[in-house]
Amino acid sequence: MLTAQTNTGKSICLGFDYKKDALLDLRSKEEFYCPICGERVLLKLGDQRIFHFAHKQGGTCRNFYENESISHMEGKRQLYKWLVGQKIPAILEYYDREIQQRPDIIFHLNGRKYALEYQCSIISESNFIKRTNSYQQKGYIPIWILASSQIHKKKKNIVALSNFQYLFLRTTSSGKFYIPAYCPEKQQFHLIDSIHPYSIKNVFVHHTFHPIMKMNVNDLVEPKVKLSFDLSSWTREIEKFNLNWTIHPNKQHKAFLHEIYNKNLNPFLLPPEIGLPVPHSLLLQTPAIIWQTYLYMDFIAAKRPYDLISLHEINFHLQKRLSKKQIVVRNLPQLEPVNPLLAITDYLLLLEQLGIIAKKGETTFQLKKAISIPKSNREREEAKLAFFQKYHRIQSNK
């Protein structure tokens, strides 16, 4: 921990750059106490770790508050100094007794109060959600920042995100998604945006890196998110993903394959209009190729041109799939409530742009032309080529 109180009630914050000689002198004159449990703590001034306070062995809140790595203490110290340097009212390790939480930093900005957590270790999903909910109920806006060392790149624009890392997902006021991360060793922020998952863990992303001294607090709270995407790369990864899980299906995949085979569909001959990237697809843990195939079977396959499709019908089928856990919604506590219908609406909008459906009212669509199912690999390759040309025209006209 980086804060303590003297026996006279004075607060000592090691977030500032104290000289070792000054702290040695202070330690010879003062005793220090934990502001949470009130027990005496020791001021550690070693050469291997950053200066910090530590409970004695067996202290009441030792285990709860002191499983901190050097990287964590240094990271939150840098973030605190960064905020103070911008004249942002901030407090390091403030303990809110009402909710019994001690965020790494609290600060005020534009009339709002924020609770910032710099997370270097994995905690349980339930603990993350509980702490987030506590902050929100007390009026804090939580900002969870992930240690950038936990971001595992698979390729230049592909990372593997666990369910835990998805908990850090935030949104700008304009609805753009991003995950903030920070590296104290490099003293730089790492922002991940343009997030398009193609499997439960594997995700296409866009990375930006910002030295802490060239970034202000608004760049963290409201970053300029650049949407970028390469459909060709997406298609290649989707095809590899399909091959992998059809050869080695899990229990959920087996049920999916059984259903589509009963509908005379082949997972290797699905049309290019199924399995497309859409902005809110990250709200769903289920891969796009699977949930969009379900939508096709539920309310598109049986329709003929000029038939109507209502949002009520779409939502009815969606709720059935959700109840059977055939489509799974992610736990995203910083975005609650999470509405899975947003991903479906994105997909319908894309189908409208592709000329497959037309919007006829606030809650009604009309099928303009059927989605053609390829009968051979050659047909699928021809359909894919024609689809790419149309898709790129749509994107270039936006």
pLDDT at residue 59, as a whole number: 61
Distance of CA 120 to the CA centre of its chain: 15
φ, ψ at 155 (rounded to 5°): -145, 180
Per-residue pLDDT tens digits of the chain, which is 398 residues long: 888 888 887 888 888 877 888 888 878 888 888 888 888 888 888 776 788 888 877 666 755 555 678 888 899 999 999 999 999 999 999 989 899 899 999 999 999 999 999 999 999 999 999 999 999 999 999 999 999 999 988 888 999 999 999 999 999 998 999 999 999 999 999 999 999 999 999 999 999 999 999 999 999 999 988 777 788 899 999 989 988 888 888 888 899 999 999 999 999 999 999 999 999 999 999 999 999 999 999 999 999 999 999 999 999 999 999 999 999 999 999 997 899 999 999 999 999 999 999 999 889 999 999 999 999 999 999 999 999 888 888 777 66
Structure tokens at 257: 């394959």
Helix (H) or strand (E) holding 314, with range, is helix 311-323
Q: With b meaning 16 or more CB within 10 Å and e meaning fewer, what string describes 314-341? A: beebbeebeeeebbbebbbbbbeebebe
- Taking the C-alpha atoms of residue 72 and residue 77, their distance in angstroms, rounded to an integer, is 8
Structure tokens at 65: 């508050």
pLDDT at residue 230, as a whole number: 82
The single residue listed with the structure tokens 């270039």 is: 396
Size (the chain), residues:
398
The single residue listed with the structure tokens 């950038």 is: 148
- Taking the C-alpha atoms of residue 383 and residue 242, their distance in angstroms, rounded to an integer, is 18
List residues bridging with 101 in a β-sheet: 96
- Taking the C-alpha atoms of residue 140 and residue 107, their distance in angstroms, rounded to an integer, is 9
Structure tokens at 6: 């003297």
Q: Domain limits of the chain?
A: 3-65, 96-221, 231-396
Helix (H, G, I), strand (E, B) or coil at 334: coil
pLDDT at residue 178, as a whole number: 96
pLDDT at residue 295, as a whole number: 96
Distance of CA 129 to the CA centre of its chain: 13
75 closest CA partner among 151, 168, 147: 147
- CB of 353 within 8 A of CB of 345? no
SS3 of the chain: helix, strand, coil, percent, to 5? 40, 25, 40
95 closest CA partner among 37, 54, 8, 32: 37
